[in-house]
Amino acid sequence: MKLPVYRLPEKSAKKDFVFNMFGSAVYAAISVVLLIVVSHILGSEAAGVFTLAYSTAQMMYTVAAFEMRNAQVTDAKREFSFGSLLGFRIVTILLMWIATAVFILLRGYSGEKAWLIALICLYMSMIALADVFQGNLHLNGYLHIAGRSIGSVVILAAAAFSVTLYFTRDLVVSALPMVAAAVLWIVFHDVPYSRNFSGLKPDFAIKRLKILFLCALPLFLSAFLNQFIFNAPKYAIDTLMTETDQARYGYLVMPAFVINLLSIFAFRPQLVSLSENWVKGEYGRFKRTSLLLYLWIGIVTAAALGGGALFGIPVLELLYGADLAGMRGVLLILITAGCFSACATLALTLFTTMRKQKLCLIAYGATAVFALFVPRLLVGSQGILGASLAYLAETLLLFSVMLVMLIISFIKARKGAETQQKEG
């Protein structure tokens, strides 16, 4: 079947902002919506299984994406061809499928939980495939098409899942149309637009794959460890508590997760300009943009804390149909943790534009070691409160280490540039 090539609209900074915000907001909210649907149709126990499966799929997504999006759209010198990026993405998707199978076996999952994790991971691998085409559009000045695409495909997939779940009452069966929706969207939307800039032939040349692998490896390890850090309290609950407890923690942690994802929509429109500022040595502009982005995270968090303190628990109880009495403190702790997580994500983005992403591994590695032991200890002694405190401690440690390294790296780069100017 020969696919069409869709005509490109005019470029628009306004549309880029609006549709990137749309895509990021929808992507951030969709896991909340799906958890609401599962909770109301099947109850808290099934919601606990679903939240663990979806969180695991998001962790495995980092294997498929391999954090090439930031490197792709900040490629101001056009060092990577789209064919190489597409070939690399296909390889990493295969690696994700292998990693998912190994994870399910190591955790000893079986039955509905194993199949649900596998299918949602398959769906997320298709979202990762779509991302490489959306990144191509972003790089070439059409962020609004990329933003519209990710928002639309997750809405389509969520609708397919929800309708199927309503009629079948079966989580595993309902995950199948999610995969189908993502595949159809890639074929009939993302590919036809992306073909304006590149062909569809993947390049599997070992030399190029190796270059991409080495370039993205620090970012991938950071992203994977970040997801592991986020999920560590959930796996502790999975081991020590019940599916209903897992669901309650999932309800409470969602606002923190949404803060992180909503912050990303402010980052992406600035990626190209940040990269250009850094390459040109315009450090003042780079610093101002970075500080404004951190200010945005602060504003979002302040609003979330205020809303959470006043209305958070009643709203969550209404949304999920669950009893969350006495959990306001846990909610506020998790929202604060979401702020530190978003700050760490921004730091990772800034390190990427500076091409110093290897430094992030120090912070993520230290925090991952912390996450191997502390969540289980705290969950074992304090239950859901312990899980929230563990996540707060993890994110605070992560951001603190990254901030120190970011400041040192920026000062060194600026001093080096000033020295070169004086000598010149």
Q: pLDDT, tens digit, for every residue of 126-166?
A: 999 999 999 888 888 888 899 899 999 999 999 999 999 99
- The mean pLDDT of 43-59, rounded to a whole number, is 91
Per-residue pLDDT band for 370 (boundaries 50, 70, 90) equals: very high
- Which are the contacts of 202, defined by CB distance < 8 A and separation ≥ 6? 83, 86, 87, 90
Residue 39 has pLDDT above 60, yes or no: yes
176-207 CB burial, b ≥16 within 10 A, e <16: bbbbebbbebbeebbbebbbeeeeeebeeeee
Q: Amino acid identity of 390?
A: A
Given a cut of 70, whether residue 257 has pLDDT beyond it is yes
d(CA 24, CA 55): 17
Full-model pTM? 0.81
pLDDT at 268 over 70: no
Mean pLDDT, range 212-217, rounded to an integer: 84
pLDDT tens digits, one per residue of 308-354: 888 889 988 988 888 888 889 999 999 999 889 889 888 888 887 77
Give the integer Cα–Cα distance in Å for 87 and 80. 11
Q: In terms of pLDDT, which residue wins out, 235 or 259?
A: 235
The whole-number pLDDT of residue 195 equals 86
322: CB partners within 8 A, 6+ apart: 39, 44, 247, 248, 251, 316
pLDDT at site 423: 65
**Which whole number is the average pLDDT over 401-419?**
81
